[in-house]
Amino acid sequence: MLRRSFLVATALALAWTCTAQAQDYPAQPIEFIVPWSPGGGSDTLMRIAASGMEKALPVAVPVINMPGASGTRGLKEATTREPDGYTIAQVHDGLLVSHRTGLTEVNWDDFEPVAQITSSPQFLTVRNDAPFTTFEDFVAYASDNPGEIRVGVTLAGVPHLHSAMIEDAAGVSFSYVGYEGTGERIRGLLGGTIDAAIGDVASAGEFVKNGDLRFLAVGSPERNPQFPEVPTFQELGHDLELSVNRGIVVPLGTPEERIAVLAAAAEAAAADPETAERLRNAGAVVQYRDPEGWRAYLEKLDATAQRLVDKLES
């Protein structure tokens, strides 16, 4: 508890120091564009993050929902805003897939990265009665039966990319069945329409606990504390990070000192125990990356999406 308090105090002090150095920035509310509808996962998580950032800033951070075009309409609007630090926007991995599959011209590098705040680790999920009980069994079966494993995904979406990353890393091939959302995929898996799916704790955790489903591997860098028996892909020898990572960006040209203020506020939110608990209750974990770390992650994932785009369009 003392360490948490120290981290929060340090992050808050950093935020206020940066604010002073930025010559009275911010002096008005900072609009936070969330390019999804109210009540969804991104909206819920980013409202929690915004409230955490407000603790470290002298102004409000109101969330402005701008849904449409699979989360790209609001981001297009964000690219037209003045680069003055008074507009921030949320991006996650889906933007990169949408760009590489031609849904939008906007990509992550149309912005300046500020910080990653949350991560929702994704699991390779199968039925408990499947003919494979470990990831190694799954790969062996897929190798012996090319294209036979039916994987449920959102076509040309993040789950499709994650599945293609597994195909690529393991040297196997799947067939794909498209679903609108995670809940539909998990219901399809339970009903036997598909053989595997990319799931998460919120959608599949209870079914794993009651013995209907099984998690074979998790895409986070470390094991998930709720399912500590499930190995990570990295433990299994594959350099894969399969998570839905959400963070904030600002228009190109935003002054570096203002980006530093925003990044410090995001770090303070990530270090705040109350904010972290609210994020966990909403189905995500805190994973802060500073501007350089967030940029590096987006660059790497974008290169992967570009390399695997043929799989996503087939």
CATH number for the domain that contains residue 185: 3.40.190.10
Give residue 200's domain range.
123-218
The predicted pLDDT at position 2 comes to: 42
Taking residue 124's Cβ as centre, other Cβ atoms within 10 Å add up to 24
pLDDT tens for residues 14-63?
A: 544 444 444 699 999 999 999 988 988 889 999 999 999 999 999 999 99
Both 99 and 10 in one domain: the answer is yes
pTM for the model stands at 0.85
Residues 84, 134, single domain; the answer is no
Q: How far is CA 303 from CA 44, 108, 174, 299, 309, in A?
A: 29, 12, 22, 6, 10
Closest CA to 162 of 105, 124, 117: 124
pLDDT, tens only, 79-97: 999 999 999 999 999 999 9
For 156-184, what is each residue's pLDDT tens digit? 889 999 999 999 999 999 999 998 778 88
**Share above pLDDT 90 across residues of the chain, in percent, rounded to a whole number:** 79
CA-derived radius of gyration, the chain: 20
Q: pLDDT (tens digit, 9 = 90+) per residue, 250-277? A: 999 999 999 999 999 999 999 999 999 9
When pLDDT is cut at 50, 70 and 90, the band that residue 6 belongs to is very low
Are 260 and 210 contained in the same domain? Answer: no
pLDDT of residue 23: 64
2-21 vs 256-271: helix axis angle to the nearest 10? 160
Q: Within this chain, do residues 114 and 12 fall inside the same structural domain, yes or no? A: yes
Q: Is residue 267 part of a domain?
A: yes
The number of domains in the chain is 2
Give the pLDDT score at 4.
Answer: 45
